[in-house]
Amino acid sequence: RAMFEDEARLGQLLRHDNVVHVHDARDVGGTLIMVMELVDGDTLKGLIEPAWERGVGMPLPSALYVAEQLCRGLAYVHDLRGSDGLPLGIVHRDVSPHNLLLGRDGGVKLTDFGLADARVNEAARSDDLIGGKLGYLAPELVLQKGTDQRIDSFAAAICLWEMLAGRRLFQGRDDGETVRNVARCEVPSLRTIRRDVPDEVDRFVQTSLSPDPDARPSSGAMADALAALVQRHGKGVSATDVALMVGLHVARRDREKQSPSVVELGLAELLASELEDFVLQQRGGEAPLDPREFELGLTGAARPKVRAPRGDFDD
């Protein structure tokens, strides 16, 4: 209960476009209820996992944009101060594709602060607490060398690597192997996996995934660097492109769940066409990125040459 109350208290403090806001939390007849901002869409996990099954990664511009928005949210969280003007020292501890929501409006929002550490918490948390998803932990955490906000930045960099690579980074055949992979922190170059990843993007990801926390950029520095990469390699990507990509994904997901009729399939295709027209108008007539390439597994990303277990998202 104490951790629930901590999450609710913290969530009500957070007000940022890239963070899910908690509106209310209370005990209703012995049941703890939290009322949170609604994000109509899916998790990053839900978006990329089906594409991985077809052996493809996310288009480079979209991946850079999503990662930038994630890091903007993290930078806000990491820099937040209390009413006394002192830093709250928030560490999310569970940054992963499971906890990043992508909306049909193009929003990208970090959620689930249930494991977060902060100065306002009442439930004690150990610095060496191993929480979150094993495949998204930082080496210093599994090696019990102490942790700080840089474990969140590391996890964000894992998310970017996986969006581009089209597979898991550290996932092993079992939990023990996953933890050993995290501790070794061997990160294949994205250039060996995808021909369309520029050298400077690969270098940025490698630096952000350094086993040495002191060598990694902060979440704010990551966001600024990603903004520059988006400007140079993003082909004008924006929230409208994310909205189209998520809209197509949700339509496909719902189609598969409901086994729709031919008429419903036609309506879904019409919706996709209208969404594309909307993005075209928003971008002043410039042809939009085609997220259907990602959805249908037709992206130009090469299949991974580095052979390792892809794994699933159970951890």
Per-residue pLDDT reduced to its tens digit, 135-189: 999 999 999 988 899 999 999 999 999 999 999 999 999 999 999 999 999 999 9
Residue-level pLDDT at 191: 96
Residue 47 DSSP SS3: helix
Check if 117 is active-site: no
Least confident of 120-124, 244-248, 280-284: 280-284
Residue bearing the bigger pLDDT, 264 or 75: 75
Residue-level pLDDT at 301: 42
Q: Within a domain: residue 251?
A: no
Residue 36 structural domain: 2-233
Residue-level pLDDT at 5: 73
Question: Which of the four pLDDT bands, split at 50, 70 and 90, describes residue 308?
Answer: very low
Residue-level pLDDT at 313: 55
Q: Within a domain: residue 263?
A: no
Residue 291 has pLDDT above 80, yes or no: no
Q: Within a domain: residue 14?
A: yes
Residue bearing the bigger pLDDT, 285 or 44: 44
Q: Within a domain: residue 100?
A: yes
DSSP state for residue 301 in the 8-state scheme: P
| Residues contacting residue 72 through CB under 8 Å, at least 6 positions apart | 16, 17, 18, 223
Mean pLDDT on 278-287: 53
H-assigned helices in the chain: 2-13, 44-53, 60-79, 139-142, 150-165, 175-184, 199-208, 219-233, 239-258, 262-282, 291-296
Q: Within a domain: residue 243?
A: no
| Residues contacting residue 176 through CB under 8 Å, at least 6 positions apart | none
How many domains are contained in the chain?
Answer: 1
Residue 202 has pLDDT above 80, yes or no: yes
Least confident of 62-76, 88-102, 241-255, 285-299: 285-299
Mean pLDDT on 13-17: 93
The radius of gyration of the chain's CA atoms, rounded to the nearest angstrom, is 20
Residue corresponding to tokens 């052979």: 307
Q: Within a domain: residue 22?
A: yes
Catalytic residue, from 6, 42, 94, 315: name it: 94
Spatial separation of the C-alpha atoms in residues 249 and 230, rounded to whole Å: 23
Residue-level pLDDT at 122: 59
Average pLDDT, the chain: 84
Q: The domain that contains 207 carries what CATH number?
A: 1.10.510.10
